[in-house]
Amino acid sequence: MKLTLGLLSRILRYGFRLRCPRCGDGALFQSYFKMFTHCPKCVLKFERESGYFIGAMYLNYGATVLIAFPGYFLLETFTPIPFFVNLGIWTLFSAIFPVLFYRYSKSLWLNFDYIFSS
């Protein structure tokens, strides 16, 4: 399937709203860390096999690195912040951001996979 602007828009919209990739209405999560096994609206099975969300871990790690790595060097270059303070900021960010982005990485992974697998 060819990735068009409209398709990318749909993936990102459903992904960041934490919605089912098929119907766009069903919620993906029961609580912050507990995901539904199936969509409450259209009954789409979310985890197709064991280890299915490994890609979401890569997505989460990649997003963390893409923000922290340039962020560290931008602060180092353009601010008078001491080295250890800058390092502490980005170490703390690298510990907290993946937890906050966890649901979104799983949702985005599920949405991308659904579009390209169906």
pLDDT tens digits, residue range 54-72? 999 999 999 999 999 999 9
Does 3 score more than 80 pLDDT?
Answer: no
* 3 state DSSP class of 73: helix
Q: How large is the average pLDDT for residues 20-48?
A: 94
Q: What is the DSSP string of 2-38?
A: ---HHHHHHHHHHHHTTB-TTTS-SBSBSSSSPBPSB
- For residue 92, name the pLDDT band (cuts at 50, 70, 90): very high
- The predicted model scores a pTM of 0.88
- For residue 8, name the pLDDT band (cuts at 50, 70, 90): confident
For residues 111 and 105, what is the distance between their CA atoms, to the nearest angstrom?
10
Q: How large is the average pLDDT for residues 5-27?
A: 93
